[in-house]
Amino acid sequence: MSLKKDIKYGQIFLENLFRYRKKKVKLSFLEVWVGQTCTLRCRDCCHLIPYVKPAVFDIDSLIEDCKKIFELCEVDFFSILGGEPFVNPNLYNLIDFAAESENITDGKLITNGTIMPDEKMIRSLKKLNNKLDVRIDVYPGRETKGNQFYEILSKEGIRCTLLRHNVFEEMRWKKLGGPEQKRIPGDTAAEIHKECALNACHTLADGELTVCPRGITSETVFGIKKNPWEHIRIKDLKNPVFAKARIAAAVSQRVYKDYCCYCMGIAAMNPYSIQPGVQIGSPEEIIG
């Protein structure tokens, strides 16, 4: 972390001590990972999941972290994903929490549709009463399971959307940069950060809150030491005023993040697009 960035974060923190003394921090979006294990191995995964050690996170701890965040923040949109969220056998507990929480009014549960929901999961999804949309991402060559998943939920009256990531230009992914990505100069990273669609994709994973999902995996993939201004450990938040000021500084869009230096961003200035869902490894290595 540069001294210039450190000073800037310190200034923003001090400003926020007063600003959030009596009000909550506004988070337009909160993305909650229930793990970093997936049934597919997408070469160009935005979250870099194929390049990190698989893990399934403790749902009870995630729920406690969500409760803490809701004490400090107003969240407009709540999203559950992974990896593939249905890999986590206790996912239904988080869905039940979302159904009962007054702090959650809209959002998504994002799946690739490769693991069919059992009766217990169907009951939990019904409890949502359409509060969250189950988005089923279907990649080329994997349409059968996605269609089956959609039919199961539709028959049960569960809110769901089938999103087909086909090869047509309008559905192509932005190339963000995989593990081979070289470091981008800070000035360029700052410009990318200003435009990037992920600069408000606040992500909670295994007790850690970051601005962008790539912040969760970048340390492992690129060897970036975590900047304490940009990676908040929820259980370390004690004094509410200081905690809100810390979160507000972490999610501030006035400072680019250290991991932005290894990402080309979802932005107009990134000219590179790629076919979605291209798999790496041999077929027998891919569960889906």
Give kind and range of the element (H or E) at residue 161: strand 160-164
Per-residue pLDDT of the chain (288 residues; tens, 9 = 90+): 588 899 999 999 999 999 999 999 999 999 999 999 999 999 999 999 999 999 999 999 999 999 999 999 999 999 999 999 999 999 999 999 999 999 999 999 999 999 999 999 999 999 999 999 999 999 888 889 999 999 999 999 999 999 998 866 667 899 999 999 999 999 999 999 999 999 999 999 999 999 999 999 999 999 999 999 999 999 999 999 999 999 999 999 999 999 999 999 998 899 999 999 999 975 444 444
DSSP E strand stretches across 22-123: 25-27, 30-33, 73-75, 78-81, 107-111
If we measure between CA atoms, which residue out of 26, 75, 35 comes closest to residue 205?
Answer: 35
Distance, CA of 142 to CA of 112 (rounded, Å): 9
Token output for 1: 């972390």
Measured CA to CA, the distance from residue 93 to residue 123 in angstroms comes to 11
Reference 153, options 95, 98, 221, 228; nearest CA is 95
* Whole-angstrom distance, CA of residue 21 vs CA of residue 24: 8
Quick one: pLDDT at residue 286?
43
pTM of the full structure = 0.93
Q: How many CB atoms lie within 10 A of CB 17?
A: 15
Residue 108 sits at φ, ψ, to 5 deg, of -140, 155
Number of CB atoms found within 10 A of residue 172's CB: 15
How far, in Å, are 13, 82, 88, 198, 288 from residue 150 at the CA level? 45, 19, 20, 27, 16
Q: Provide the pLDDT for residue 49.
A: 96
Report d(CA 54, CA 100) in Å as an integer.
30
Alpha-carbon distance values, 228 to 164, 166, 215, 250 (Å): 38, 39, 12, 9
Number of Cβ within a 10 Å radius of residue 21: 11
- Do residues 288 and 37 make contact, with C-beta atoms less than 8 angstroms apart? no
